[in-house]
A and B are shown apart, each in its own frame.
Chain A
Amino acid sequence: DADVTQTPRNRITKTGKRIMLECSQTKGHDRMYWYRQDPGLGLRLIYYSFDVKDINKGEISDGYSVSRQAQAKFSLSLESAIPNQTALYFCATNDGTGGVEQFFGPGTRLTVL
């Protein structure tokens, strides 16, 4: 079973709708991240959390919110989706103890019409 899972894998929605993307991990890691990937722009950090009570804005947090419901779960919400939020979204984890690797989920492809 995958260590970092994301649901849904694909979503098509309309402008103005509220969308939630979910991430779960079985790695027991404290740190979790949300990124978006756009062609030619690489990955950009949206939000990150170092533990259940910790939420931090990343480079491009406007238009997004997050919730860290438990150590294993970190969800990303788009309160009112707009077309330029069409992208591939990745969740990632890190153990926060000095380990250098971030472990990525398979991604959610979101299309906003």
Chain B
Amino acid sequence: GEDVEQSLFLSVREGDSSVINCTYTDSSSTYLYWYKQEPGAGLQLLTYIFSNMDMKQDQRLTVLLNKKDKHLSLRIADTQTGDSAIYFCAGETGANNLFFGTGTRLTVIP
């Protein structure tokens, strides 16, 4: 099956940029996604990128996709304490289902 890896933890200081990385084994996804999970809540779609793009910017968020290396990253500019959460990258299976990475817990230090 699909294998998606992320670092488990990341700590940054408030105001700095955060970069969360993801590597995957299957390159057949039409879209690749970033979901955010706040404490005690379900996942919410943060952003996504079409697989034929290599970058997408949405306000403080920048998604970079390197299909050759099967590497996806999420950059959060000017990280705030409200950005503290678990971030999951996800791709699609052939049945339009999602496969998720292990999640990266981002801690923002005031």
- Residues of A whose CB lies within 8 Å of any CB of B are 4, 33, 35, 40-45, 48, 56, 58-59, 90, 92, 94, 100-102, 104-107
Q: CA A4 – CA B103 in complex, angstroms? A: 22
Digit string of B30-42 for contact with A (CB within 8 Å is 1, else 0)? 0101000000111
Write the nearest CB–CB distance from A31 to chain B, whole angstroms.
8
B42 close to A42 (CB less than 8 A): no
A-B contact count (CB 8 A): 52
Asked if B53 CB lies within 8 Å of chain A CBs, one says no
Q: Which of B45-64 contact A (CB under 8 A)?
A: 45, 48
Q: CA A94 – CA B95 in complex, angstroms? A: 13
Most chain A CB neighbours (cut-off 10 Å) among B43, B95, B101, B102: B43
A43 close to B41 (CB less than 8 A): no
Q: CA A43 – CA B44 in complex, angstroms? A: 13
Residues of A within 8 A of B88 (CB): 42-43
A101 close to B45 (CB less than 8 A): yes
B43 close to A104 (CB less than 8 A): yes
Residues of B within 8 A of A58 (CB): 97
B8 close to A90 (CB less than 8 A): no
Residues of B within 8 A of A102 (CB): 43, 45, 98
Q: CA A56 – CA B95 in complex, angstroms? A: 10
- Tell which of A48, A90, A94 touches B43, judged by Cβ atoms closer than 8 Å: A90
Known contacts A40-B102, A100-B48; A45 and B97 CB within 8 A of each other? yes
B45 close to A59 (CB less than 8 A): no
Q: CA A101 – CA B102 in complex, angstroms? A: 19
Q: CA A23 – CA B34 in complex, angstroms? A: 24
Residues of A within 8 A of B100 (CB): 35, 42-44
B43 close to A100 (CB less than 8 A): no
Q: CA A22 – CA B40 in complex, angstroms? A: 18
Digit string of B1-43 for contact with A (CB within 8 Å is 1, else 0)? 1001010100000000000000000000001010000001111
Known contacts A58-B97, A59-B1, A100-B48; A40 and B42 CB within 8 A of each other? no
Most chain A CB neighbours (cut-off 10 Å) among B31, B45, B95, B97: B97
